[in-house]
Chain A
Amino acid sequence: MKITEKEVRYVANLGNVRLTDEEIPRMARDLQEILTYIDKLNELDTSNVEPMAQVLFEADETATLREDVERPTLGSEAALANAPLSGGGYYKVPLVIER
């Protein structure tokens, strides 16, 4: 399989990462090498295997649920303290909707 620079740009947009023109060919090469290696999974017949999405161990079914009780949460001041831009108790971002 050949990973084109066009595909790299498409995937970069999916992942919301701006790549520079210098980064693109290198990324295409790296992805191609790794994906070619990954193709070895096709040697394995997995037609009768159930996929494993999570590590499972023996526990009561409700063991991972806590009591549904009210509790204090992080206040908005603390939550916003690391924001690059905030105001009026909100995060501020560039204009999304044109008037």
Chain B
Amino acid sequence: MNIPSLTIDEVRSGLAARQFSATEIATDALRFAEAENPKTNALLMISRERALAAAKKVDDQIAAGEQLGPLAGVPIAVKDVLVTKGLRTTCGSKLLANFIPPYDATAVVRLEQAGGVVIGKANCDEFAMGSSNENSAFGPVRNPAALDRVPGGSSGGSAASVAQGTSVISLGSDTGGSIRQPASFCGVVGVTPTYGRVSRYGLVAFASSLDHIGPFARNVRDAATLLEVIAGRDEMDSTSASAPVPNYSAAMTGDLKGVKIGLPKEYFKGLASETGDLISKGIDVLKKLGCEVKEISLPATDYAIACYYIIATAEASSNLARFDGVRYTTRSADSPTLIDMYRNTRGEGFGAECKRRIMLGSYVLSAGYYDAYYLKAQKVRALIAQDFARAFTEVDAVVAPVSPFPAFRLGEKLDDPLEMYLSDIYTITGDLAGIPCMSVPCGKTAAGLPVGMQILTKHFDEPGMFRVAEAFERAGGVG
């Protein structure tokens, strides 16, 4: 058993053949994580007791001859914006440094019911706001592929943990690209499912009309398996969809003959040349597999970032209002009056990016500006969704880059928030439209930096998306 390259299939067959026990996997995985995590800071906490208890449960099931769940014995990292009962959950924020949630997020409940072993909580940008993981109050994450570079964000810890091998699969969240961009930067698979596909009960809310929970894995099949476990209607989240969850692995036939792929021309300008070359090679692979490729246009793309930073910050300013010094562990020592308590707790507790977004959100929602900003952005959002709806009458899937460039250096974009926002240009549209989208590894630059190819399909067509991604991976991807 080689911990850093382990897959769900290997765990399953190893357990079935009694090559190792779930406790042995957990023990080895914990030892590996404890030794290796300091190199990247991908995990904020390693949950030794909880992992060993979950592993023992799996071993007891094996001893009793019971049927095992699809994630039995698999070490999993959970982004620290998902609450875990009795396990500190910080959201990467000083404000929640000591927060011990009284319940588990539905996605966590489901993965543990499926036999999954929660091995730790993954680092992230504070309240999932950022594109580099440098906004964590507990230090940045380093990219396992190049330790002087960022892993992407906001789910940087979830991506880096899977890439480094301190977990086999992980959960992240995506509001504007926070799963796909770090997956691309770290060279792993990352999936943002259809809006509503996965219950968000227990996900600390950032922008409720845009937040998604999704999986990271080292291959497409493992990501699909994790999604299948966590997807589906949940009474605790009224926005969760009741559509049945298909068997994703049945869709992965390896055959792409006649699949129509659209390449949106707006996504191919301004690409760093190496990124562009690798994506072109990826498209050639898809052609060889029998895809029909044609250029399409998604004309509202250029307006996506402006639209997003109105909607996301407006919703964030309202969602983050709950961190006011009353309920969640931290209150300013300087709280002579109620209003001072609110303002000082938040002023001292939130990091610079959270404050910036609360300010922007409060500004665009303030009296007299609603129509000019928020309402305008909602209309532009409709145009972006219509672009995709039109495209999917012509093509089965849209293929594009994930990020205009590979992982950048720590500190490189920290002083210019707008520049950082602009790096999300290709991922934000999928969140605004609410369609499934994912990043699949598409080779590396000469310097060894991973690049991801993005695949987008229509609402609830995760099977179509996985079909393309898995065939691409099975064919060897790009080098």
A residues at B contact (CB < 8 Å): 8, 11-20, 23, 27, 30-31, 33-35, 37-44, 46, 49-55, 57, 59-60, 63-66, 74, 78-79, 81-85, 91, 93-96
Q: In the complex where A38-B310, A82-B328 touch, is A74 in contact with B356 (Cβ < 8 A)? A: no
Question: In the complex, which of the residues B306, B418, B460 contacts A41, with contact meaning CB atoms closer than 8 Å?
Answer: B306
Please report which residues of chain B, range 74-101, place their CB below 8 angstroms from some CB of chain A when the two chains form the complex. 98-100
Task: Give A16 to B348 CA distance when docked, in angstroms.
Answer: 12
Q: Indicate whether B476 reaches chain A with its CB closer than 8 angstroms.
A: no
Residues of A within 8 A of B355 (CB): 17, 19, 23, 27
**Chain B min CB distance to A27 (Å):** 6
Residues of B within 8 A of A35 (CB): 360, 363
How many contacting A-B pairs (Cβ < 8 A)? 171
| Residue from A34, A37, A51, A74 having most chain B Cβ neighbours under 10 A | A34
Residues of A within 8 A of B327 (CB): 82-83, 91
**Chain B min CB distance to A45 (Å):** 10
Residues of A within 8 A of B209 (CB): 53-55
Q: Indicate whether B221 reaches chain A with its CB closer than 8 angstroms.
A: no
Q: Indicate whether B307 reaches chain A with its CB closer than 8 angstroms.
A: yes
Residues of A within 8 A of B331 (CB): 84-85
Task: Give A94 to B376 CA distance when docked, in angstroms.
Answer: 40
Residues of A within 8 A of B348 (CB): 18
Binds A, one of B108-116, B164-172, B283-291, B318-326: B318-326
Q: Is the CB of B383 within 8 A of A49?
A: yes
**Chain A min CB distance to B478 (Å):** 32
**A–B pairs, 30, beta carbons within 8 Å:** A11-B362, A12-B359, A16-B343, A17-B347, A18-B348, A19-B347, A19-B355, A23-B355, A27-B355, A30-B417, A30-B418, A38-B310, A38-B373, A40-B302, A44-B300, A46-B376, A49-B379, A52-B381, A55-B459, A57-B194, A60-B242, A82-B100, A82-B329, A84-B325, A84-B329, A84-B331, A91-B327, A93-B325, A94-B335, A94-B337
Residues of A within 8 A of B298 (CB): none
Interface of A is mostly: loop
Q: Is the CB of A15 within 8 A of B361?
A: yes
Q: Is the CB of B326 within 8 A of A93?
A: yes
Q: Indicate whether B346 reaches chain A with its CB closer than 8 angstroms.
A: yes
Interface of B is mostly: helix
Task: Give A52 to B376 CA distance when docked, in angstroms.
Answer: 10
B residues at A contact (CB < 8 Å): 98-100, 102-103, 194-196, 209, 233, 235, 238-243, 300, 302-303, 305-307, 309-310, 317, 321, 324-331, 335-344, 346-348, 350, 355-356, 358-363, 366, 373, 375-383, 385, 417-418, 421, 433-434, 459-460
| Residue from A55, A57, A60 having most chain B Cβ neighbours under 10 A | A55
List 11 other contacts, CB 8 Å, given A15-B346, A46-B379, A52-B379. A11-B363, A12-B362, A16-B339, A18-B346, A20-B347, A34-B360, A38-B310, A39-B306, A64-B239, A94-B338, A96-B338
Q: Is the CB of A38 within 8 A of B309?
A: yes
Task: Give A50 to B383 CA distance when docked, in angstroms.
Answer: 9
Q: Is the CB of B241 within 8 A of A38?
A: no
Residues of A within 8 A of B324 (CB): 16
Question: In the complex, which of the residues A27, A60, A83 contacts B356, with contact meaning CB atoms closer than 8 Å?
Answer: A27
Residues of B within 8 A of A57 (CB): 194-196, 241, 243, 434, 459-460
Chain B, residue nearest A50 (CB): B382
Q: In the complex where A20-B347, A52-B385, A93-B326 touch, is A41 in contact with B376 (Cβ < 8 A)? A: yes
Task: Give A34 to B308 CA distance when docked, in angstroms.
Answer: 12
Task: Give A63 to B244 CA distance when docked, in angstroms.
Answer: 12
| Residue from A12, A18, A23, A30 having most chain B Cβ neighbours under 10 A | A18
